[in-house]
Amino acid sequence: MYFCNILNLAKGDNDYEFSLEFLQPVKPEVTHRSTQRLVNITLRKQEECWWDRLTLQERKPLFLAPDFDRWLDESDAEMELHAQEEEIINRVSIESKIHKDPYLALKKGYLFMYNLVQFLGFSWIFVNMTVRLFILGQDSFYDTFHTIADMMYFCQMMAAAEVINPLLGLVKTGVFPAMIQVVGRNVILFVVFGSLQDMQNKAVVFFVFYLWSSIEIFRYPFYMLACIDTEWKLLTWVRYTIWIPLYPLGTLAEAVAVIQSMPVFDETRLYSVPLPQVLGSSFSFSYTLKLYLALMFLGLFINFRHLFRQRRRRFRSRKRKMN
């Protein structure tokens, strides 16, 4: 490529004609840029080779000034070409060293199906509860467990895979935050609600299930689309934003359920540990729930910080790409 300037031209929009015969043929494509003092013309050689001079005539035309800021002599041109060739070789070498996982398609297929099944399950829960709320009103609060529990059992048992997947290296999510959420929800579902019939008719079941499903109907489709390298900007924003109000509300609803279950566990002596007569009759399970209540809010802090960092990292990387 050759760059040159045509100097000493009048200001304004004018048509200029000049005759210039190059040493060897050039490509017909010509680009130019005009300023108040010059016209910058860019040409490309027909063949990549070194020219002894620019024009066929030995003397340079008076109106022509080479752009020495971009000038390359023969040795410079060879060095630049050699550097480009080395860069290409290095890039190919690095790409060839990258280990391609032969099971990548299988892993992505498994993760896609897992997230799809969870999305369908929680969508069924959310839609079912919403329709019943509009039809039955507040009456739908008190039979939520008997209507929704089977599907919620299925989804929460499937959710155990969210602890197994990072352990196997299938996803990059931390194990500890996933374990906090899965174990916490399963304690509420299987221990507090599932083992106490008196808790199954309380309105708090509706709020716990509704808040859980409201988060998951956005989280699972986001991960599902990520498996096929697809992103919807609105879904991404909702997935990394909606947890800000819903996650604390869900924890608050779980805490209410634990507090309401304590008198029931004391009364029924369910899961109580017998003690020697000297120490008392038994150790009530409600004491364990009091400890669990404190750990619940500790888990809220840990997961909230984890989710906030994920959100900040996600949107910061997107801003970099836009810039």
Q: What is the rounded distance in angstroms from the CA atom of residue 232 to the CA atom of residue 193?
A: 36
Q: Looking at 2, 110, 142, 247, which residue is catalytic?
A: 247
Total Cβ atoms within 10 A of residue 193: 23
CA angle in degrees (0–180, nearest 5) for 10-11-12: 120
- Contacting residues for 176 by C-beta, under 8 A, at least 6 apart: 302
- Which of 162, 210, 223, 254 is the catalytic position? 254
Residue with tokens 């030995």: 58
φ, ψ (nearest 5 deg) of residue 35:
-125, -175
To the query of whether residue 254 is one of the catalytic residues in this protein, the response is yes
> Is 110 one of the annotated active-site residues of the chain?
no
- Report the C-alpha gap between 188 and 122 in whole angstroms: 17
Instruction: Give the separation between CA 145 and CA 130, rounded to whole angstroms.
Output: 14
Q: Which active-site residues does the annotation give?
A: 247, 254
